[in-house]
């Protein structure tokens, strides 16, 4: 019997044609707006002393950062006034006050950022974020330490040093609350913190601060800060390093421009300072020679900054042997100039 076809193409009276199910393309279901991957689990408490309350409090104060406060000896060293016991005792006091003030700020900062730190792959190990130190306790101790530091400075130091330390504490608290989220201002505040340390020793001992000293210290600090931010931005672009929110608003090119500009101004200011002594007279030969190792040190550090390896300045300064030797040669030459030889 002949087969007849309908208008749809099917055969009338024959078996139904075998049809393949329509092919579908697998698609990923889009994530609802406003959602993200769950944060990583909070770090467990470390074993040993670091896992105790006392150990957690000590780690929160960042002992590795205390070396920055040695800058209080910069002005007396530049003036050649480090020999007397009175000077050493006064500098030890200022060093202790700045260390306590910085520790207070760290306690307040970690307590405030505890929730966001728990979602960070590295910062989740901070004692407050990990639960080793309760946040209310960190707030209380931080506020008490800040108040005690400014009070002791008013009682034991002159008015200028006490005012400088109080300004430092207020500026750092404002930085934790707001200023660290404002472009350029965050760089200026961190730089100002270093300059305040460098000024403190001079103010405590009534040593006049040269304009060249302030320019060298200010732009030298900006060079270090901008190089650190640049290194963090480079690593963040490679999927590593810090996830500081403001870094996403800076371009790598801009941060490179800032640290290069700061390095150039710092070197120029130091050279003008080395060539000029008190009263406008020509500087000593040793001070002029000290320009050479200083420039070499800046160039050497710039190598690490350009590679994005200057995220931890203290590690660069301590682990790179040529840089350390260059710094020692500079210190020797400058010491000879201060001694008047």
Q: pLDDT tens, 99-130?
A: 999 999 999 988 888 887 787 667 788 888 88
Q: Are residues 220 and 147 in the same domain?
A: no
Instruction: Answer for the pair 191, 218: CB distance below 8 angstroms, yes or no.
Output: yes
Expressed as residue numbers, the domain containing 255 is 210-341
- Kindly tell me if the per-residue pLDDT of 1 is higher than 50: no
Is the torsion defined by CA of 276, 279, 285, 286 positive or negative?
negative
H helix or E strand, kind and range, residue 12: strand 11-12
Residue 13 lies in a domain: no
Q: Which residue has the higher pLDDT, 50 or 138?
A: 138
- Kindly tell me if the per-residue pLDDT of 17 is higher than 60: no
What integer is the mean pLDDT of 38-59? 68
Backbone dihedral angles phi then psi of residue 183, each to the nearest 5 degrees: -55, 140
Collapsing DSSP states into helix, strand and coil, what is residue 83? coil
Q: Are residues 94 and 149 in the same domain?
A: yes
What integer is the mean pLDDT of 266-275? 92
CA–CA distance, 97 with 146 (Å, rounded to integer): 10
Q: Are residues 191 and 231 in the same domain?
A: no
- Kindly tell me if the per-residue pLDDT of 45 is higher than 70: no
Note the pLDDT of residue 99.
Answer: 94
Closest CA to 295 of 339, 321, 260, 330: 330
pTM passes above 0.85: no
Residue 9 lies in a domain: no
Q: Are residues 230 and 186 in the same domain?
A: no
* Cβ-based neighbours of 2, under 8 Å, separated by 6 or more: none
- Kindly tell me if the per-residue pLDDT of 239 is higher than 80: no
- Kindly tell me if the per-residue pLDDT of 21 is higher than 80: no
Q: Are residues 306 and 331 in the same domain?
A: yes
- Tokens 């042997």 correspond to 321
Q: Are residues 305 and 240 in the same domain?
A: yes
Torsion, Cα 316 302 232 123, to 10 degrees, reads: 20
Instruction: Answer for the pair 153, 161: CB distance below 8 angstroms, yes or no.
Output: yes
Collapsing DSSP states into helix, strand and coil, what is residue 320? coil
Q: Are residues 203 and 70 in the same domain?
A: yes
Question: Among the three residues 208, 233, 268, which one is the final residue of a domain in this structure?
Answer: 208
- Kindly tell me if the per-residue pLDDT of 333 is higher than 80: yes
């Amino acid at each position: 019997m002949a087969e007849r076809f309908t208008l749809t193409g099917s055969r009338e009276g024959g078996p139904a044609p075998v049809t393949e199910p329509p092919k579908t393309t697998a698609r990923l279901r889009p994530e609802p707006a406003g959602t993200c991957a769950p944060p990583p689990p909070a770090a467990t408490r470390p074993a040993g002393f670091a896992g105790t309350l006392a150990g957690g409090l000590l780690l929160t104060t960042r002992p590795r950062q205390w070396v920055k406060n040695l800058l209080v000896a910069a002005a007396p060293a530049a003036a050649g006034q480090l020999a007397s016991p009175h000077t050493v005792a006064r500098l030890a006091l200022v060093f202790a006050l700045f260390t306590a003030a910085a520790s207070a700020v760290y306690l307040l900062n970690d307590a405030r950022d505890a929730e966001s730190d728990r979602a960070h792959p590295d910062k989740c190990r901070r004692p407050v974020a990990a639960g080793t130190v309760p946040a209310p306790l960190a707030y209380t101790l931080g506020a008490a330490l800040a108040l005690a530091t400014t009070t002791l400075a008013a009682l034991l130091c002159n008015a200028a040093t006490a005012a400088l330390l109080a300004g430092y504490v207020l500026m750092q608290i404002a930085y934790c609350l707001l200023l660290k989220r404002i472009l350029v201002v965050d760089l200026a505040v961190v730089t100002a913190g270093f300059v305040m340390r460098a000024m403190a020793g001079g103010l405590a001992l009534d040593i006049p601060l040269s304009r060249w000293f302030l320019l060298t210290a200010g732009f030298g600090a900006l060079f270090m800060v901008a190089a650190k931010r640049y290194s963090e931005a480079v690593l963040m672009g490679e999927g590593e390093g810090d996830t500081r929110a403001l870094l996403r608003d800076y371009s790598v090119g801009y941060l490179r421009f800032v640290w290069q500009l700061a390095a150039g101004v710092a070197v120029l200011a130091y050279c003008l300072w080395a060539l000029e002594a008190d009263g406008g007279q020509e500087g000593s030969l040793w001070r002029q020679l000290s320009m050479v190792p200083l420039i070499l040190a800046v160039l050497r550090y710039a190598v690490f900054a350009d590679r994005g390896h200057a995220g931890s300045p203290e590690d660069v300064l301590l682990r790179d042997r040529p840089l350390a030797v260059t710094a020692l040669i500079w210190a020797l030459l400058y010491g000879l100039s201060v001694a008047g030889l």
